[in-house]
């Protein structure tokens, strides 16, 4: 028996389960759409914390609309064995998550991993712009669909950036998966958008190496490493990398995984931009920053005193190892044995102190991971000195450069045409104005060269790769947030539309947004047999079908749907559906025997007969010797209880008294 909830969603097979919920394939019987229904486990539905987390997932996901975020359609509660169980109706995604893909198919190449992580970062950017941080980015929560799309799932522990009062966040308990936990989360500090960027770096690390950056016997051991240890450069685990390729992959991943948030990418969009360069085998901005300033690494003392320094050194070490270089990278001198021994002794002391704190917390049990790191790593490692980037947008280049250098930053100048900003004025900074970054870090000033206009090329019908090349060749940039739409006329992967339109004049460097076809959308033909035609027609049209109706003779009420072609099967959107509806013209003939003509007319009218009275045709009389049967009906056509059209003629024959009927035939 099919279990239907909310009088609408027919549950099918269980397609997944987790620590707190079960997911069922289902059908939205109202519109015929295949969906997934996620239900909180009945044994957890009584717990207010679990209900709050489940409610949060529905609320957070429902606020987001992005092609790489699983869509939420509906929410509600259903009674199961006397317990009110909340549920979420969401987009049904067919595919495999990254955890299973790596386990079953092996690691991704750096360019493949970058291609996968670009839409992940774009989804996180959309979430962050909506004021929501995910807090549990991991391979199991990222799915590759059967059509090659990327979907970020499970906003169950996400929270608003300005939410400091939720019952789920007041306890300082660490929420998330230990292997992808940012240092600030592990230490019980507030998480922000850059915490998701750290987790995205951990995910990409696992995609290219086949294992997470840190492993341990317990979540506590793993969380300790996130706070205190540097990951092995991912290039150490990737065969056949050139030194440049090794530097490139290490720079992107280890920048995302910097210990201090100020040293990471400052937005998911910034990380997506570097991933785009990595996917094209172009040098990432993170790698350029490392190569262009080798003196920063060389100037650091042997003992690690700053998170950013440790990250830079790890990047350099990975590149050197991949290139089989005997010397330390960028001319960093080998430390003496005495220095190494002293540094190792200090590291052992620090480790012992932190492990002692961990052991104490494990004994206490209920306090959580966060308390294990109340021993702040600032007690053994000097805290990074950071400063806020001042607002220099709109200032002349020299004035902006002077102000930034006075604040302790290194300034890099790039030029860009602009239709809105006058020549010589600052368009923007990278990182953004207001960002807290370490003193001595590089701030890139983008300065306007004025209005230099080019025509937008026509890329409609091109593949995405060809369109990107044409846009770049025209001096424009491709908006990395590429939209997808179903199309019955444009092949999957090709461009449907673009903004700005072809031939329009725009400033050099302007972004071009593309909408790409995801192919023809297949839609299940809804079950409409037995419905009134008006309702069936509305359902079919709303799903994109073209109904073609034919009226047929039937005893069913006029306008009722008798049959629908391909009902219950999937067809391309826009397909023509043949529908047969009843014209209500068939009635059942009443028994007119022994009635006179007027009585017969009354009986026929009562049965629904609509033909004029003259359509009751009186045929040749039937001789009878029974005077009592005189002028009553002895024959009718159609015969009693047979079906005929209500507007058809009826033939009757009346008995006529005749004495000859008493005479037997010779």
416 within a domain of the structure (yes/no): yes
Instruction: Find the radius of gyration of the CA atoms of the chain.
Output: 38
360 within a domain of the structure (yes/no): no
3-class SS letters over 288-345: HHHHHCHHHHHCCCCCCCCHHHHHHHHHHHHHHHHCCCCCCHHHCCCCCHHHHHHHHH
Q: Which tokens is 53 given? A: 């987390």
Domain-ending residue, one of 428, 448, 468: 448
Mean pLDDT of the chain: 82
Q: Does the pLDDT of residue 316 top 70, yes or no?
A: no
Q: Does the pLDDT of residue 551 top 90, yes or no?
A: yes
Residue 550: alpha-carbon gap to chain centroid: 41
Whether 56 and 127 share a structural domain: no
Q: Does the pLDDT of residue 299 top 60, yes or no?
A: no
Binding site listing: 38
pLDDT in tens, 125-145: 999 988 888 888 999 999 999
364 within a domain of the structure (yes/no): no
pLDDT in tens, 324-362: 333 333 333 334 334 444 444 444 444 444 444 444 433
Whether 107 and 193 share a structural domain: yes
Positions annotated as catalytic residues are: 136
What is the rounded average pLDDT of the residues 274-301? 71
Percent pLDDT > 90 in the chain is 53
pTM more than 0.85: no
373 within a domain of the structure (yes/no): no
Whether 607 and 489 share a structural domain: no
The model's confidence at residue 1, banded by pLDDT at 50, 70 and 90, is low
pLDDT in tens, 458-496: 999 999 999 999 998 888 999 988 999 888 889 999 999
Contacts of 481 (CB under 8 A, 6+ apart): 122, 513
Whether 136 and 200 share a structural domain: yes
Q: What is the CATH number of the domain that holds 69?
A: 3.30.200.20
d(CA 255, CA 252): 5
Q: Does the pLDDT of residue 168 top 70, yes or no?
A: no
Higher per-residue pLDDT: 545 or 371 = 545
Whether 409 and 491 share a structural domain: no
Binding site listing for ATP: 38
Q: Does the pLDDT of residue 665 top 70, yes or no?
A: no
pLDDT of residue 336: 39
Whether 116 and 24 share a structural domain: no
Please classify residue 6 by burial: count the beta carbons closer than 10 Å to its beta carbon, then call 0-12 exposed, 13-18 middle and 19+ buried: middle
**Strand (E) or helix (H) holding 58:** helix 48-63
Higher per-residue pLDDT: 363 or 40 = 40
Q: DSSP string spanning 467-503? A: HHHHHHHTT-EE-S--EEE--SSS-TTBEEEEESPTT
347 within a domain of the structure (yes/no): no
Domain-ending residue, one of 26, 58, 91: 91
Whether 47 and 196 share a structural domain: no
The model's confidence at residue 663, banded by pLDDT at 50, 70 and 90, is low
Domain-ending residue, one of 477, 497, 517: 517
61 within a domain of the structure (yes/no): yes
pLDDT of residue 397: 93
Whether 287 and 189 share a structural domain: yes
Whether 137 and 162 share a structural domain: yes
Percent pLDDT > 70 in the chain is 81
pLDDT in tens, 187-240: 888 889 999 999 999 999 999 999 999 999 888 889 889 999 999 999 999 988
Q: What is the CATH number of the domain that holds 441?
A: 3.30.10.20
Whether 542 and 610 share a structural domain: no
Domain that includes residue 553, residue range:
522-582
Torsions phi, psi for 373 (to 5 deg): -110, 20
Higher per-residue pLDDT: 44 or 253 = 253
Whether 561 and 645 share a structural domain: no
Q: What is the CATH number of the domain that holds 308?
A: 1.10.510.10
**Number of domain units in the chain:** 6
Whether 101 and 129 share a structural domain: yes
285 within a domain of the structure (yes/no): yes
């Amino acid at each position: 028996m099919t279990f239907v909830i909310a009088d609408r969603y027919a549950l099918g097979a269980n397609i997944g389960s987790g620590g707190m919920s079960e997911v069922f394939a289902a059908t939205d019987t109202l519109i015929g759409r295949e969906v997934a229904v996620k239900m909180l486990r009945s044994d957890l539905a009584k717990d207010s914390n679990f209900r709050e987390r489940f409610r949060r997932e529905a609320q957070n996901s429902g606020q987001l609309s992005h092609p790489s975020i699983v869509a939420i359609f509906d929410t509600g509660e259903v009674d199961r064995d006397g317990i009110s169980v909340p549920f979420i109706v969401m987009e049904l995604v067919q595919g495999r998550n990254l955890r299973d893909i790596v386990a079953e198919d092996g690691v991704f190449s750096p360019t493949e991993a970058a291609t996968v992580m670009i839409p992940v970062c774009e989804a996180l950017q959309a979430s962050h712009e909506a004021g929501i941080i995910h807090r549990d980015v991991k391979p199991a929560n990222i799915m590759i669909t059967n059509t090659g799309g990327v979907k970020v799932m499970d906003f169950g522990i996400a929270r608003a950036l300005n939410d400091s009062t939720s019952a789920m966040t007041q306890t300082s308990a660490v929420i998330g998966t230990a292997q992808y936990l940012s240092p600030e989360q592990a230490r019980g500090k507030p998480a922000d958008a850059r915490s998701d960027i750290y987790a995205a770096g951990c995910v990409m690390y696992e995609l290219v190496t086949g294992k997470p950056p840190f492993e341990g016997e317990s979540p506590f051991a793993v969380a300790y490493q996130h706070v205190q240890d540097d990951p092995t450069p991912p290039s150490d685990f990737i065969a056949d990398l050139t030194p440049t390729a090794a530097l490139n992959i290490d720079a992107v991943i280890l920048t995302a995984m910097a210990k201090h948030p100020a040293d990471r990418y400052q937005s998911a969009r910034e990380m997506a931009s570097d991933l785009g360069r990595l996917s094209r085998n172009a040098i990432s901005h993170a790698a350029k920053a490392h190569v262009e300033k080798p003196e920063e690494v060389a100037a650091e003392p042997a003992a690690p005193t700053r998170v950013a320094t440790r990250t830079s050194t790890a990047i350099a070490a990975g590149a050197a190892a991949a290139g089989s270089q005997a010397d330390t990278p960028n001319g960093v001198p080998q430390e003496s044995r005495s220095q190494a021994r002293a540094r190792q002794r200090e590291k052992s002391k620090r480790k012992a102190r932190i492990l002692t704190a961990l052991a104490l917390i494990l004994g206490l049990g209920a306090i959580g991971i966060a308390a294990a790191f109340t021993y702040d790593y600032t007690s053994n490692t000097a805290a990074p000195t950071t400063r806020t980037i001042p607002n220099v947008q709109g200032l002349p280049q020299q004035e902006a450069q002077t102000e930034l250098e006075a604040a302790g930053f290194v300034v890099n100048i790039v030029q860009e045409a602009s239709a809105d900003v006058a020549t010589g004025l600052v368009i923007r900074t990278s990182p953004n104005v207001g960002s807290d970054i370490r003193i001595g870090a590089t701030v890139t000033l983008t300065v306007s060269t004025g209005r230099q206009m080019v025509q937008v090329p026509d890329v409609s019908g091109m593949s995405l790769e060809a369109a990107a090349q044409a846009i770049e060749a025209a001096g424009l940039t491709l908006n990395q947030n590429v939209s997808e739409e179903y199309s019955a006329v444009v092949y999957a992967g090709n461009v449907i539309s673009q903004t700005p339109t072809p031939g329009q004049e725009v400033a050099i460097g302007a972004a071009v947004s593309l909408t790409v076809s995801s192919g023809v959308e297949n839609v299940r033909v809804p079950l409409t047999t037995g419905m009134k035609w008006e309702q069936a027609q509305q359902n079919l049209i709303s799903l994109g079908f073209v109904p073609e109706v034919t009226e047929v003779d039937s005893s069913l009420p006029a306008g009722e749907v008798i049959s629908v072609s391909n009902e219950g099967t999937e067809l391309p959107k826009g397909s023509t559906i043949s529908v047969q509806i009843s014209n209500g013209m068939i009635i059942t003939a009443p028994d007119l025997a022994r009635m006179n003509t007027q009585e017969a007319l009354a009986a026929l009218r009562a049965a629904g007969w609509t033909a004029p009275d003259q359509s009751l045709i009186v045929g040749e009389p039937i001789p009878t010797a029974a005077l009592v049967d005189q002028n009553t009906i002895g024959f009718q056509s159609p015969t009693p209880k047979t079906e005929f059209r209500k507007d058809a003629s009826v033939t009757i024959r009346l008995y006529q008294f005749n004495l000859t009927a008493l005479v037997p035939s010779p």
